[in-house]
A and B are shown apart, each in its own frame.
Chain A
Amino acid sequence: MNMQGSIKLLAAVAVMALAACERPTEAHYVLEDYGVEAASAGKDRAKSPEQWVSIVYTNLFQTGLPANDQFDIAEVFESIGDQDVAREVILSNFFNEDGVMLPSAAEMHANPDAFIEETYIRFFVRQPTTAERTFMRGFLADNPELTPELVYLAFGLSEEYQYY
């Protein structure tokens, strides 16, 4: 290899080395807000007793129901003919346990809009419609004795909550 060739080779290596050391472009990943409302999506599949128990427990306690408890509660659920009654009794038992994650009544009445939205998303996995928001706002205002527990009870026992 002559002198000129050596210089060219050296230059090429230098260019490659410099290119390899170039700082990569910094990537930015962000989360975009995504609407979860599904009012018209059609919840047409009924939850099984196991699913209902497991989901309502998670919604109330913000933690999963142990598998053994889930099995036992589902059996008890099956042993009662009227599933509405079974749901009422199971839910009211849950509300007697420690650890239910509930806002206070004062918080609910102080900021009803936030409470309404949070409750619809927590139980129905969707935003309330304008009509629902308006009704709920008026209902909370007209019933100052209403507690978040009773609102959660109504949502947990509602027909929509039986479907996914």
Chain B
Amino acid sequence: MAATNNVNRREFLKKAGLGAAGLAVAPYILPSGRLFAPTGMRSSEHVVMVAFAGGVRQQESILQRYVEDSQGEPYPGNILFNMLSGESPVAKIVFGTGNNGNTPIPAILNTPLDQQGTVFREVQALSAGHYGGLNSLVQGSTVTTQGLKQRPVNPTIFEYLRRHGGYGATDVWFVGNGIGGSTPLLTHSAHPDYGGNYGGNFFAPTVTFGSAGQTYLADAKIYHPEYELAPMNRLRTFLDLQFQSLLGQQGAGGLGNSQEERENIKAFMEAMYEKVENGTLPLPPVTDNGDLLTVAFAVEVLKWFKPNFLMVNLGAVDQCHSNFSGYLAALHRADHAVGYLWNEIQTNIPGMAGTTTLLTTPECGRNLNPNNIIDSNEWRAYDHSDANSMRVWTQLVGPDIPANHSVGSEGNPVGLVSDTMLTVADLLGVKPEVLSAGMLAPGTQSLLEQL
């Protein structure tokens, strides 16, 4: 009983403290050692951003035209059951499970997210490509000199949050759908004022916890923290100081995780390997592609670390380059993934329910006209390079987001892709610092100011 009272008292004090501060961010000691308080007002304790999901056409997503627009078949309909309100297509169902995908996956959420929050229905992308699009989501800009397999040129949201908001390394996470392209490089920029020491933590779970990870990482030796790790770390510190003084170099690849954070990450990894091996990893009701597995692990990251910011990148939709039916199935599953994510946050992650804002934005759209590739249903495939590829949308849901609200329309675009990043900064209290850094795409505004 006494223990319960203590916990309640601690919880009470924590909440009272936050309430008294009006959720204004308290001063933090930055890695530089400077006492500092961000000037922005934090209005959400946690923010989750979904990069959705590898190039999504407006026509099959927000406009709910299914195969009517793309294939000339008279069957419109909504296939994003968790995210949007609207009737499912009545025929030519190929996106579900079972025989030829003819059984749609039931919605997880009782109320679709568009009724719980706000949708910006017609948003301007900054790039028609994945990498440029993802960069615009993490940097709030695109840089023409940005090369593939290079770190972002401008600071990312992870760095802004850590440098100006005082968030710890394990408070900000990027969960990637793989290690292809430059995905693992998006955690921090090469900017001289920011960089690795302010980067976000990252896993590509299908690799880290996949078969190679199980083979090479799952059997890690556990050292005694006091008798083994402590002297080892003292020796390591000596070696590093010698290196820095003798050779004038500093190590590369760290993210400024404290020793405690590093041990916590390793403990998380060990727990995941155990869950995978024992078959006890919680999964979405249907988990038959990489995106769904990625989101399952993203939920585990949320449960374990309760980060202030997590970005998860989905990408299976990109098969639309050669397989339109597969694209529809992947789009339906990306919706299933988002539904699972939001449901878990609200029902299974104490401390994040009711205090988390979810933002979902496709990094780029897809072409208006098809290419020449025909799939097994004789439907044409779509690449992404034209003006239609620059059309996307953004959905927000969270404690202070107006419910059942819609902004903009097909003929009335409102917002930029880069707004999503600035909105994260706004929600987590570092918007003034991001704006004063002066590295956003022109016209970028917080979506909270455009509601």
Within B160-186, the residues touching A (CB, 8 Å) are: 169, 174, 176, 179, 184
Query: Closest approach, in angstroms, between the C-beta of B307 and any C-beta of chain A?
Result: 13
Interface contact A81-B207, CB-CB below 8 Å: no
B254 to chain A, nearest CB (A): 4
User: CB-defined interface of B216-246 with A at 8 Å, one 1/0 digit per residue?
Assistant: 1111111100011001111110111011101
Confirm or deny: B190 has a beta carbon within 8 angstroms of a beta carbon on chain A.
no
Pick the most buried of A46, A76, A78, A139: most chain B CB atoms within 10 A of its CB: A76
Q: How large is the interface on A (under 10, 10 to 19, 20 to 34, 35 or more residues)?
A: 35 or more
Q: Contact at A158–B252, with CB atoms within 8 Å? A: no
Tell me if B's interface is mostly helix, strand, loop or mixed.
helix
Taken residue by residue from 383 to 395, chain B's Cβ proximity to chain A (1 for < 8 Å, 0 otherwise) reads as: 0000000000000
Q: Is A5 positioned at the interface, with any CB of B under 8 Å from its CB?
A: no
Most chain A beta-carbon neighbours within 10 Å: one of B207, B228, B253: B253
Contact status A79-B203, CB under 8 Å: yes
| Nearest Cβ on chain A to B294's Cβ, whole angstroms | 11
- Using A78-B179, A92-B220, A154-B239 as known contacts, say yes or no to A39 and B247 having CB atoms under 8 A apart: yes
The answer on a CB contact under 8 Å between A89 and B269 is yes
A residues in contact with B235, CB < 8 Å = 139, 146, 150-151, 154
A96, A150, A159: most-surrounded residue (chain B CB, <10 A): A159
Q: Which of A81, A154, A155 contacts B201 (CB 8 A)?
A: A81
Given A79-B207, A146-B231, A85 contacting B250 (CB threshold 8 A) = no
Q: Does B187 sit at the interface, judged by CB under 8 A?
A: yes
Contact of B239 among A39, A72, A159, A163 (CB under 8 A): A159
CA separation between A159 and B235, bound complex, in Å?
12
> Would A96 and B227 count as touching, CB distance under 8 A?
no
B184 touches A150 (CB 8 A): no
The residues of A that contact B223 with a CB separation of less than 8 Å are: 92, 150
Tell me if B244 and A89 are in contact (CB < 8 A).
no
Given contacts A84-B262, A92-B223, A158-B236, contact A79 B231 (CB under 8 A): no
**A82 and B169 in contact (CB under 8 A), knowing A76-B212, A155-B239, A160-B243?**
yes
Q: Top 9 closest A-B pairs, CB basis?
A: A81-B202, A83-B253, A159-B251, A79-B207, A79-B204, A160-B243, A158-B239, A154-B235, A92-B221
Given A82-B255, A159-B243, 14 more A-B residue pairs with CB atoms under 8 Å apart are A39-B246, A39-B247, A72-B212, A76-B207, A80-B202, A80-B203, A81-B201, A84-B253, A89-B217, A93-B217, A139-B234, A150-B228, A150-B232, A158-B236
Chain B contacts to A: CB under 8 angstroms = 169, 174, 176, 179, 184, 187, 199-205, 207-208, 212-213, 215-223, 227-228, 231-236, 238-240, 242-244, 246-255, 257, 262, 265-266, 269
